[in-house]
Amino acid sequence: MALFPVYGVFKGDFVPHLVAVDTDDPMAVVAEKIAAHAVGRRVAADPSATGYEVTIDGEPVLESTTMGQVLAEKKLAPLHWIVVGWKHG
């Protein structure tokens, strides 16, 4: 359990944010932390969405995968870019 800094951006937003995520956070929580900076501010809520989807280096990541697992598998450096978007279906 440790804080890890990432740059997060929500699809459709033009402002990236520096977000501290915990290595124990699942991607669903990481997505919420990033989305909180954009949805309802510069990105309209999507009532047809079933949640958020996290993409790292162009590849979607399962909601249940923890940040620590991603760090171990992908060898991410601090301040790596994480993209969050709407999940449909």
Q: Give dist(CA 89, CA 86) in Å, integer.
A: 10
What is the domain partition of the chain in residue ranges? 7-87
pLDDT of the residue at 89: 82
Q: pLDDT, tens digit, for every residue of 50-63?
A: 999 999 999 999 99
Kindly tell me if the per-residue pLDDT of 21 is higher than 90.
Answer: yes
The pLDDT of residue 10 is 98
Q: How far apart are CA 83 and CA 8, in angstroms?
A: 6
Mean pLDDT across the stretch 38-44?
Answer: 97
CATH class of the 7-87 domain in this structure? alpha beta
Question: Over pLDDT 70: what percentage of the chain?
Answer: 100
For residues 21-33, average pLDDT: 98
- Is 90 exceeded by the pLDDT of residue 24? yes
